[in-house]
Amino acid sequence: MQFIVAHDYEDLSRRAARVLADLLGSLPKPVIVLPTGNTPLGMYRELLKLALVDRVIFSGAGFIQLDEYASIDEDDWRSLAGWLRRSFLDDANISPSSVTNFRSSAPDGAMEASRMERAIGTAGEIDISVLGIGLNGHIGFNEPGSAADSPTRIVQLTPQSIRSNAEYWGSEAAVPRQAYTLGLGTLSRARRTLLLVSGAAKAQILHAAMEGSVTPQVPATFLRQLQNVTVIADREAVALLGREGGPRLC
């Protein structure tokens, strides 16, 4: 595992964008898993700046949605696909045909998850998965209890995830109770994984993820079993690392 300590959020965002830009520049058709949330916003802004200089930076690339709420209209502005379009894809001029999305309104969640797993297979190998981490250690919507080999599937959101999504949905009651996520097993097939972690609020869970016991109760600990993982975390997020004989940071 490569661990990069960024000075602050802006530095983290620039470094993350640079990792993706290098990949985009080195492969004709890279396949990239994209997350939503607050953490990657700065990276998306940096990528858009790079696209102003290199207008074909995203041509040929394929993108895969990491997760999505279930049982909502596909044009619901709160869908994560809509969030990704507004925050990045539209301004980057990335065509919808280059993006593999969950169908949030699919009537049968299990069938939709299998369709997505097959679609990922046909999109090609995943070259890089960009991930954030939830306060409960979730990766995508792989909530605590998710097995390291879990497939892409429909899941129940935990009360903590429902609470942390309440602001986005307007109230806790409005938050969908189920969501789709690429499974940890699906994500483990990526050639490379990039985990972004920012802020003091994430210090405790990053500590558990990096230095605690590997357990499905903290799904992010599964990253320690993968081969090619880069963590970019800012100084606030790494505050609790390396205190108990865990990995020293450099």
Residue among 30, 62, 132, 176 that touches ligand F6R (CB under 6 A): 132
Q: Does 152 bind ligand F6R (CB under 6 A)?
A: no
Handedness of CA 31, 42, 172, 205 (dihedral sign): positive
Min. distance of Cβ 53 from ligand F6R in angstroms? 26
- List the one residue out of 66, 69, 71, 61 whose CA is nearest residue 27: 61
Q: How far apart are CA 97 and CA 107, in angstroms?
A: 22
Instruction: Mark whether 138 is an active-site residue.
Output: yes
Cβ pair 180, 119 in contact under 8 A: no
DSSP string covering 150-175, please? --SEEEEPPHHHHHHHHHHHSSTTTS
Q: Work out how close the CB of 195 gets to ligand F6R at its nearest, in angstroms, rounded to a whole number.
A: 9
Sites for ligand F6R among residues 35-54 (CB under 6 A) = 35-39
46 is catalytic: no
Q: Which stretch binds ligand F6R (CB under 6 A): 34-42, 103-111, 150-158, 172-180?
A: 34-42
**Binding window for ligand F6R (CB under 6 A); candidates: 4-12, 44-52, 130-138, 185-193:** 130-138
Strand, helix or coil at 196? strand
CB atoms within 10 A of CB 72: 18
Rounded Cα distance, 51 and 18, in Å? 12
Exposure letters 26-55 (e unless 16+ CB within 10 A, then b): eeeebbbbbbbbebbebbbbbbbebbeeee
Q: Judge contact between 126 and 31, C-beta under 8 A.
A: yes
Q: Is 87 in the site for ligand F6R (CB under 6 A)?
A: no
- Structural element, H or E, at residue 230: strand 229-234
Nearest residue to ligand F6R by CB is 132
Does 7 participate in catalysis according to the annotation?
Answer: no
With CB under 6 A, what is the number of residues at the site for ligand F6R? 13
Measured from the CB atom, the residue of 11 and 245 that comes closer to ligand F6R is: 11
What is the identity of the amino acid at 232? I
Residue 219 as a binder of ligand F6R (CB under 6 A): the answer is no
Concerning whether 136 is annotated as a catalytic residue, the answer is: yes
Q: Is 140 in the site for ligand F6R (CB under 6 A)?
A: yes
Q: Which position among 138, 142, 207, 234 bears the catalytic label?
A: 138
Contact window for ligand F6R (CB under 6 A) among 13-21, 29-37, 46-54, 169-177: 29-37
- Active-site residue set: 67, 136, 138, 143
Q: Which residues bind ligand F6R (CB under 6 A)?
A: 35-39, 66-67, 132-134, 138-140
